[in-house]
Structure 1
Amino acid sequence: MTRALLLENPHPNADPILAGSGLEITRHAGALSEDELIGALDGVDVLGIRSTTQVTERVLDAHPSLVAIGAFCIGTNQIDLSAATRRGIAVFNAPFSNTRSVVELAIAEIIALLRRLTVRDKALHAGVWDKSAAGSFEVRGKTLGIVGYGNIGTQLSVVAEALGMRVVFYDTAEKLALGNARRMTSLNDLLSTADIVTLHVDGRSGNAGMFGRRQFEAMRPGAVFLNLSRGFLVDYGALREKIESGAIAGAAIDVFPSEPRSTGDAFDSELRGLPNVILTPHVGGSTQEAQESIGNFVAGKLARYAGTGSTDLSVNLPRLTLPDSESGRYRLAFIHRNTPGVLALVNQTFAEHGANIEGQILGTRGETGYVITDISSELPVEAVAAIREMEDTLRLRVLPIQGR
């Protein structure tokens, strides 16, 4: 691999990490449209994006030589993972690095909403002194309902409980309750119980539109609502109606169904101008600490994949790491369709051409298999060509390992 394209300003600490694996780095400050991305990917081996750029099957069709994609964020729903996997393209993300930043923003917004700080702030900026306790509450003793009890939801649960809040949560998967948090058997049970409802679910397509008019009507009168996960989860038109009617006392929204591609672009939403509504431009994980951690993490995964074939914590490929070989000369990273007998055929091909296998590891994930093989002898070009021509081959990379 020789070139990496980084979009949407991931932290600059990613550059020396990627350069250390031999990649020449090009940056573009904003996101790119589908057509722009197709044009920009000529000669690019590694693509780095954040949450806005869409990597579609059409993009991948136009650039079959793309080897890896790094999402410098938590979510990967902006990438067609099935299409990437079918082409043997490894995808990496940062599932943990910005967790604390999102949690702190959620806590800050919960306090701001319950104290109606946005309303007080707006009045003073308008020159009106409106000192009143009306509609202002402590968070202590309130019930926080967390929808989605993953990395962010669980840490939010712990911090909220430390502030004296009661915590209930709902998740479709079995999750261990932390502290005194209580699992609810249904989303409706949570909505009827919680004073604050906050969404922290992933971006899988089945979650689209999960929170609409019916869910808002199931919430307690005067509750507040937060969405710091995905914009397409929520019917914001229905939310506007409930805020205007007073049924919902306030909301904090960090994500939107359609978001501008670059800083400074125009933004519009049906939630603009509403009282006690906090709108932020998808900055849940946008702290210096989180972005630095994400830059290190994702760039490190891309660099290791480039140099050693390691797919540790890959989003879409079998997760393999083969320890460095003491006498190996070549490492072959072979992605293939998960068909019985593929490994035997690969090893037979090596044997027939006199290649000596020093170390090997195989993993499968759904319809995809991955084999890393270290060769300590000369590598016969005929063997490499034969494996590349196998019917089930998706991608084969040859990595020199002497001196690593």
Structure 2
Amino acid sequence: MILSKFALKSKQFQQPVRVAMRAFADVEVEHLAGKWATYGDLENYKQGKYQIKTFNKISPVGLSRFPDDEYDIRDQDKEAANAHAILLRSHKLQESDVPQTVRAIARCGAGTNNIPVPRMTELGIPVFNTPGANANAVKELVLCGMLLGSRRIVDGVNHMKSLGEQGLARERVEKDKAMFGGRELKGKTLAVIGLGHIGSMTARDAESLGMKIKGYDPGLSVGSALKLPNTIDLADSMAAAVAGADYISINIPYIKGENGTHGIIGKDVISHFSPDAVLLNFARGELVDSEAMKEFLDSGNGRYVSDFPEDLLWNHENTIILPHLGASTEEAEDAAASMAADTIINFLETGTIVNSVNFPNTSLPDRPEGAVRFTVVNSNVPGVLAKMTEAFAAEKLNILQQINQSRGDIAYNVLDISTEGHDDVLSFKGVQEKITMIDGVVSTRIIYGTPGKGYAKNIEGVYFI
């Protein structure tokens, strides 16, 4: 009996489960052409398991998503010369860290600036992230930042430590409290710039504290809009959103280059701030023009609270700079690692792509009985799909269902191939090599049978499997 897998949604993540399928013709996918550079330590090479290379300390909760019988987890201290996928957090990934065998990379977090994404795209490797996994942790830190920016709590703590060292804490605890007056959040206005996972959660919880909410997001999705408070005032520009706000939370991605977001909170936007506005930046330090922000802080009683240090701002009397704590909770690390693991499992076992930063979202229904799943990564150029289907037709292989998606310069195909009419051994050797060597194809994969087998690449015109 042949075993197959499909993704089934659990309460929080997708966890693959097994279903039995009827027996059909034996399928042969192993063959030799080129070869990978090394198999590493042969004593530790576990053929028949997906090998997962991890960098950084990955949550055990996330790693437990990988079934022991089909996955071999190698941490950064273990050789993983034939890794099928990479799981990491903050490790700055180099191309030398990525063996030719790697099919996918997943970061346990939202940002992927520590991964050479353009180069991975050229190599035909999807890079995944985990949007929303740490949203609650960051949202809670934003709320904490509003309180810190309202009551001069940090200054008060430091003052009491100083008095304690002098033996004056009890004597001055009541007398000195007037030095650290502040204001309450209730009734104040919060402007939320960016209304994705974190922004929408911040807006909703801030409203429950009695705050008035304004928001701005030119790319607001329907899903995010449904999560917003009914009373939110949606502005048509960033300047309109921040005008009159007591607190401003920025929750947008950092994008380099022309029309990017570098320094987007600059003089033009800051000129609309109220004199005592508190800017909360738990997104990226580069979003804020430091010189313009310093000028604002110098001119009034405004505050800046962030977990990204900056040479011009870190020691200003009106700034509170924290370590980068946004996702530093056990819950967030568990959620991000679990989401990353499930994304890798789903991709390796079904070819499904979701939450990729460089490949198109692609999902084909469960593989029909009596079918073999075939995936192709290729340059997004005309004619490749036609040549693929011609290759299958030439081998009298019928395509039961397929999907072709593209994103920028890359295209991704998932095809289910029927085995009907093939009563003996059905060989994919010839057709896989023919398709892999089509001009523009980067790699192909047969998702069938032994985990890890059936992968081929076109490396500068040489066929490697």
TM-score tier (shorter): 0.7 to 0.9
Deviations 1:282-306 (A, max 9, x none): 2212211121111111110011111
Counterpart of 1:229 (choices 272, 283, 286) is 283
- Give, in angstroms, the shift of residue 384 of structure 1: 0.6
CA contact under 8 A between 2:156 and 2:180: conserved in structure 1? no
**Is the CA contact (8 Å cut-off) linking 1:2 and 1:45 kept in structure 2?**
yes
Q: Structure 1: which 5+ runs fail to align?
A: 30-39, 258-268
Q: How has the CA–CA distance of structure 1 residues 117 and 193 changed in structure 2, closer, same or farther, with 3 Å as cutoff?
A: same
Q: Which has the larger radius of gyration?
A: 2
Between 1:64-73 and 1:360-369, the stretch displaced more is 360-369
Q: Distance between the aligned counterparts of 2:100 and 2:295, measured in 1?
A: 47
Structure 2 residue 191 is matched with structure 1 residue 145: yes
Please state whether the residue corresponding to 1:131 is helix, strand or coil: helix
Q: What is the correspondence of 1:2-401 to structure 2 with a 5 Å cutoff?
A: 2-18=50-66, 20=68, 22-28=70-76, 42-50=81-89, 52-55=90-93, 59=95, 63-127=99-163, 129=173, 130-132=176-178, 135-174=181-220, 176=225, 178-205=229-256, 206-243=260-297, 245=298, 247-256=300-309, 269-275=311-317, 277-328=319-370, 330-377=372-419, 378-401=426-449
Query: How big is each residue's C-alpha offset from its partner over 1:253-290, in whole Å with a ceiling of 9 and x where there is no partner?
Result: 11357xxxxxxxxxxx4444444533222221221112
Q: More relative contact order in 1 or in 2 (CA 8 Å, sep 6+)?
A: 2
Specify the alignment match of 2:34 in structure 1.
none
Provide Cα deviations, 1:240-265, integer angstroms capped at 9, x if missing partner: 4543x2624322211357xxxxxxxx
Q: Where in structure 2 are there 5+ consecutive unaligned residues?
A: 1-48, 164-168, 420-425, 452-465
Report which stretch shifted further, 81-90 or 194-203.
Answer: 81-90
Distance 2:85 2:406 in 1: 23
| Structure 1: distance between partners of 2:85 and 2:300 | 48
Deviates more, 1:112-121 or 1:339-348: 339-348
Question: 1:102·1:284 contact (CA, 8 Å) conserved in 2?
Answer: yes
Determine the C-alpha separation between the residues in 2 that align with 1:315 and 1:73. 12
Alpha-carbon distance in 2 for matches of 1:150, 1:174: 7
Give the CA deviation at 1:398: 1.7
Compared with structure 1, are the counterparts of its residues 16 and 82 closer, same or farther at alpha carbon in structure 2 (3 Å cutoff)? same
Work out whether residues 119 and 275 of structure 1, in 8 Å CA contact, stay in contact via their aligned partners in 2: no
Letter of the 1:45 partner, please give it: H
Alpha-carbon separation, structure 1, partners of 2:98 and 2:353: 24
Aligned partner of 1:278: which letter? Answer: I
Q: Is the 8 A contact 1:320 1:361 kept in 2?
A: yes
- Number of aligned residue pairs: 379
SS in 1 for 2:178: coil
* Cα deviation, residue 102, structure 1: 1.0
CA contact (8 A) 1:254 1:280 kept: yes
CA distance in 2: counterparts of 1:61 and 1:337, whole angstroms: 24
CA distance in 1, matches of 2:219, 2:128: 23
Aligned amino acid, residue 286 of structure 2: F
Give 1:329 shift.
5.4
Name the SS of the counterpart of 2:341 in structure 1: helix
Matched letter for residue 289 of structure 1: E
Is the CA contact 1:331–1:401 (under 8 Å) kept in the aligned structure 2?
no
| 1:255–1:64 CA distance, 2 compared to 1 (3 A) | farther
Secondary structure of the residue aligned to 1:193 is coil
CA RMSD of aligned residues (A): 2.9
The CA deviation at 1:61 is: 10
User: Separation in 2 of the partners of 1:156 and 1:62?
Assistant: 37
**Does the aligned pair in 2 maintain the 1:88–1:336 contact within 8 Å?**
yes
CA contact (8 A) 1:77 1:203 kept: no
Distance in 2 of aligned mates of 1:21 and 1:372: 26
Q: Alignment partner of 1:207: what SS?
A: coil
Shift of 1:361: 2.8
Contact 1:228 1:255 in 2 (8 A): yes
- Deviation larger for 5-14 or 135-144: 5-14
Q: Is the 8 A contact 2:51 2:80 kept in 1?
A: no
Give how far 1:148 is off: 1.4
Q: Is the 8 A contact 1:6 1:27 kept in 2?
A: yes
- Cα 1:21–1:107 change in 2 (3 A) is farther
Give the drift of 1:137. Answer: 0.2
Deviations along 1:73-118, whole A, 9 cap, x unmatched? 1122333433322321111111111111111111111012111111
* Counterpart residue identity of residue 253, structure 1: S
The question of whether the paired residues in 2 share the 8 Å contact of 1:85 and 1:368 is answered with yes
**1:218 counterpart SS class:** coil
Aligned twin of 1:34: none
Q: Whole-Å Cα distance in 1 between the matches of residues 117 and 308 of structure 2?
A: 21
Q: Secondary structure at the match of 1:396?
A: strand
239 and 161 in structure 1: CA distance in 2 versus 1, 3 angstrom threshold: same
